[in-house]
Amino acid sequence: MYMNKILKSLGLMSGTSMDGVDAAIIDTDGVNIFETGEAITIPYDDSLKEQLRSVLGEKDSSQLKEIENEMTLFHAEVVKKLLKKAKLSSKQIDVIGFHGHTISHNPKEKHTLQIGDGLLLAKKTGIKVVNRFRNADVEAGGQGAPLVPIYHDALCKDFEKPVAVLNLGGVGNVTFIGSKDDLLAFDTGMGNALIDDFMLQKTGKAIDIDGKTAASGKTDMKIISKLLSNPYFDKKPPKSLDRNDFEQVFEFVKDMSIEDGAATLTAFTTQSVMYAFEKHIPQKPTKCIVCGGGSRNQEIMAQLKKILPFPVETTEIVGWNNDAVEAQAFAFLAVRSLYDLPLTFPKTTGVSIALCGGEVCLS
């Protein structure tokens, strides 16, 4: 019988959308979720956000260490704020799962870089830290992403199968849990990254609030057809993307109105999801649960409900905290890492065998 001790774990996630840091606490033995605790989201200030933008795509840079230190100290403050909200001391937290922030990701070259100093965070918080979750998988020939499927599997333990969980952050990824609890996962395409970057260029604000701009524009389906001809979409999963892999898309929309450009990029996201289900998902799910920032975009949700031939629900409907899911996932993965349980699998990242990962940093 499975007998690992239940730990109180704190997870931290800085996503590709660069909105800020999500933090959440869960009680878990690395297999089951016994309790989900307090959670918070602390936005990045404009200065730190711009610093992160300035090094996206870098593999090595004189700026990286300075920005890494500043970002890590920001995470340490987030931990303190969450502990205060939860009325807990650092001694009551067994481990922190620290994802860091992805700067560059190219599994073909066995490269992935998430900045974030685990030792510094452990020192500042007085809590054991697990970070570098993707590295072992990439070094073993896996995609290093997505990492959250095993947590989605735990969340969906009592759901009717098959079921799908679609996460729309900067990049979109799907977890499919089959009728025999088999896992399949991969990146579907862009999530919010292109939409946010386009809106930033056009308006100075990296968001289309509620998808209202896209909803008022006209989609160019000829452009969508060209974009979907990219070999990535026909490539058999598992597979993953970097947020910059589709930067060339801006050449297609640069001369469009704000409304039409937002509409076309939004449709690119939703059509990519539909294509992924049609091409690569082996069974029709009983439902698809959408999480991440994209679930708050009313136009994205309206399109998904229209084009997908099965129920599409948000996390709120099934009782999950949308802002906390990814942070909870890294709290969960940190405990699995401590117990030497696998984080990645042949059908989630393409690694040859189920593999543990993460590096432990002591306080």
Q: Extract the tokens encoding 124.
A: 């500042």
At 145-181, the pLDDT tens digits run 899 999 999 999 999 999 999 999 889 999 999 998 8
> What average pLDDT does the structure give for the chain?
94
Give the model's confidence band at 187: pLDDT under 50 very low, under 70 low, under 90 confident, else very high.
very high
H helix runs in the chain, sequence order: 46-54, 62-86, 118-125, 135-139, 149-155, 193-203, 212-215, 221-227, 250-253, 258-280, 298-307, 315-318, 325-338
Q: Nearest-CA neighbor of 266 among 194, 342, 330, 339?
A: 194
C-beta of residue 199 within 8 angstroms of C-beta of residue 262: yes
C-alpha 205/C-alpha 262 separation (Å) is 13
Cβ within 8 Å of residue 237, ≥6 positions away? 184, 185, 186, 280, 347, 350
Burial readout 171-206 (b: 16 or more C-beta within 10 A, e: otherwise): bbbbbbbbeeeebbbbbbbbbbbbbbbbbeebeeeb
Strand order in the sheet with 20-28: 33-43, 20-28, 7-14, 95-98, 129-131, 359-361
Where are the chain's structural domains? 7-144+323-361, 149-318
Percentage of residues in the chain having pLDDT higher than 70 = 99
Pairing of the two strands 95-98 and 129-131:
parallel
Q: Nearest-CA neighbor of 264 among 227, 305, 304?
A: 227
C-beta of residue 341 within 8 angstroms of C-beta of residue 348: no
Give the model's confidence band at 2: pLDDT under 50 very low, under 70 low, under 90 confident, else very high.
low
Q: Nearest-CA neighbor of 201 among 295, 265, 114?
A: 265
* Topology at the third CATH level for domain 149-318: Nucleotidyltransferase; domain 5 (3.30.420)
What is the distance of C-alpha 324 from the center of its chain? 11
Q: Nearest-CA neighbor of 265 among 229, 215, 312, 231?
A: 215
| Pick from 11-20, 131-140, 200-209, 295-304: least confident | 11-20
C-beta of residue 173 within 8 angstroms of C-beta of residue 273: no
Percentage of residues in the chain having pLDDT higher than 90 = 86
| Pick from 1-5, 90-94, 182-186: least confident | 1-5
Is residue 14 over pLDDT 80?
yes
Cβ within 8 Å of residue 189, ≥6 positions away? 171, 172, 232, 233, 241, 246, 268, 269, 272, 273, 275, 276
Is residue 125 over pLDDT 70?
yes
Pairing of the two strands 101-106 and 288-291:
unpaired
At 306-353, the pLDDT tens digits run 999 999 999 999 999 999 999 999 999 999 999 999 999 999 999 999
Is residue 206 over pLDDT 90?
no
Which amino acid is located at 32 in the chain?
A: N
Q: Nearest-CA neighbor of 186 among 234, 220, 249?
A: 234
Q: What is the pLDDT of residue 244?
A: 79
Average pLDDT over residues 33-58: 93
Q: Which CATH class is domain 7-144+323-361?
A: alpha beta
Q: Which helix (H) or strand (E) holds 105?
A: strand 101-106
Give the model's confidence band at 245: pLDDT under 50 very low, under 70 low, under 90 confident, else very high.
confident
User: pTM of the full predicted structure?
Assistant: 0.91
